[in-house]
Amino acid sequence: MPAAPDLKTATRAQLEAWLTGATHPEILAEKRRMDEAGDIPGGLAGGFYLGLSNAIKKEDIRAMAESGSTEAGTGFGSGGGRRTPARTESHNRAMRVLDSLTRSGDLPAYGAERVESLLNTGLPTSRNLVARWALAAGDEHYATAFARLAADPERGHLMWTPEESEAYRRAVNVQSEMRAMSTTGNAGGYLIPLTLDPAVILTNDGSNNPMRRISRVVQTVTNEWRGVTSAGVSAQWIAEATEVADVTPTIAQPPIPVYKGDAFTQYSFEVGMDAVDLLGQLKMVLADAADQLQATAFTTGPGSTAPTGIVTALAGTASEINTTGSEAMVSSDAYALQNALGPRWQPNAQWIMGLPTMNTFRQYETTAGALKFPELTGNPPYLLGRPVHENSNMDSTLNVAATQSNYVAVYGDFRNFVIVDRIGSTLELIPNMFGSNRLPTGQRGALLWFRTGSDSVNDGAFRMLDIPTTA
């Protein structure tokens, strides 16, 4: 669904058409955007805002009807539309927390949308746990309690207010529930406030990781994510009164496990004195470290001790295409790789490659001296009509003296590469750091650990260029 029309130039018909076709999350996001803008204008824009509010109210009534909260009568949703899971009081309170954090600027809108999506999908037990997690980790009193602990891990709790103590107890209870759903048995540490959790803030727009920006990112509360995938359903034309053929596709349920990663930083006692600023610094430093670690894993991760990278998933499969050159890339490789991808995946296909590979394609010229791929010089760059994303973890330097594969580019529909984040990251606080002489350095330590996974759920949606070399 495209973004809502510009309120300054849109006609009534355009606004009504958007309202008719928009999904509930899109309507919520648009209303939130208008709320954040401040004063609601009158006239046509004011009517549009009222339409957003009415649509949200209707969806609330529909959810109540489906959960049995209304009197018996004509059922809602009989038209076959998509149903929204029934909302509990915890769900509604969690949504209010997300709205408050977004309004204050503590939580980016894309992070709130990720949590909202998790609140609305999955089994009721999982949704209820997510709601309780959002309430506990998003509580402003828990954020201040966490800040006091970060400033002084040994005595910070002595400064807690009654509200902070209660918020901490709720967070501990939720953390215990989440650990009960894990097979790793990890214990200790503090539940990360919602506004600091990498599983929330490292999503799409909040990440410099190209794989997060173009792949499908989902969240889970368990040790693995299981989706449903197939090579596609085939349709057919048949004559009148003819038995249909069995074209049932093979349905797979690929599991994607999550792996434990960590990031560590030290900070001085002086930095810890300013607890509020410390949280902002920890958020920036630890999240960036986790993002860089994950960027490598999502590209070349082994799938045993770390997430399965896209290169690892495609290597040795039918999706691997060799260069038409001799131990070197040639301009025709771009055409060959694109042509090898099936028509089903072409409309949403994108490229990933390292900067040196991009620059090599940029230098190719026709016999008349014109650039063969002028779109690559633009911002954003395109290659053969499809977006190109720089990924420094792809191979880009060839060693002709070694016998090896060199995977320099991947082309495909990255909606078929899934990144899984397990919510509920944990931070261990180390009260005192010691130097080489085993004496205190006047520093504390913060160890963040998180769990994430990735894998291709349909290798046929990709093609990868390999430039093999032989010693």
More confident site: 243 or 461: 461
Output the CA torsion 279→281→284→288 (10° steps): -110
pLDDT greater than 70 at residue 228: no
More confident site: 201 or 111: 111
Beta bridge partners of 371: 365
Residues 265/173, Cβ–Cβ less than 8 Å: no
Beta-carbon contacts of 82 under 8 Å, excluding residues fewer than 6 positions away, are 23
Provide the pLDDT confidence category of residue 429 given band limits of 50, 70 and 90. Answer: confident
Output the CA torsion 34→37→43→48 (10° steps): -10
Q: Could you give the CA distance from residue 146 to residue 161 in angstroms, rounded to a whole number?
A: 12
Q: Could you give the CA distance from residue 386 to residue 375 in angstroms, rounded to a whole number?
A: 9
How many Å separate Cα 226 from the centre of its chain?
16
Q: What is the pLDDT of residues 395-415, one digit of tens each?
A: 998 888 899 999 999 999 999
Q: What is the pLDDT of residues 313-329, one digit of tens each?
A: 999 999 999 998 888 99
CATH of domain 185-229+252-471: 3.90.1690
DSSP three-state, residue 333: helix
Per-residue b/e over 11-43, b at no fewer than 16 CB within 10 Å?
eeeebeebbeebebebbbbbbbebeeeeeeeee
Number of alpha helices (DSSP H) and beta strands (DSSP E) in the chain:
15, 13
All CATH 3.90.1690 domain ranges of the chain, comma separated, are: 185-229+252-471
Q: In this predicted structure, what is the pLDDT of residue 206?
A: 45
Output the CA torsion 222→225→228→229 (10° steps): 180
pLDDT greater than 50 at residue 118: yes
More confident site: 294 or 247: 294
Sign of CA dihedral 105, 213, 175, 276: negative
Global pTM value? 0.67
pLDDT above 90 coverage of the chain, percent = 35
Residues 427/452, Cβ–Cβ less than 8 Å: no
Q: In this predicted structure, what is the pLDDT of residue 40?
A: 53
Q: What is the pLDDT of residues 342-357, one digit of tens each?
A: 999 999 999 999 999 9
Residues 49/43, Cβ–Cβ less than 8 Å: no
Provide the pLDDT confidence category of residue 70 given band limits of 50, 70 and 90. Answer: very low
Q: Could you give the CA distance from residue 302 to residue 349 in angstroms, rounded to a whole number?
A: 24
pLDDT greater than 50 at residue 296: yes
Length, in residues, of the chain: 471
pLDDT greater than 70 at residue 207: no
Q: Crossing angle for the helix pair 109-119 and 89-104, nearest 10 degrees?
A: 170
Q: What is the pLDDT of residues 254-278, one digit of tens each?
A: 789 999 999 888 888 877 666 556 7
Per-residue b/e over 79-111, b at no fewer than 16 CB within 10 Å?
eeeeebbbbeebbeebbebbbebbeeebbbebb
Tokens of 87: 């909302």
Tokens of 76: 């809602």
Q: Could you give the CA distance from residue 300 to residue 354 in angstroms, rounded to a whole number?
A: 13
Q: Could you give the CA distance from residue 415 to residue 403 in angstroms, rounded to a whole number?
A: 33
Q: Could you give the CA distance from residue 135 to residue 139 in angstroms, rounded to a whole number?
A: 6
Mean pLDDT of the chain: 81
Q: In this predicted structure, what is the pLDDT of residue 336?
A: 96
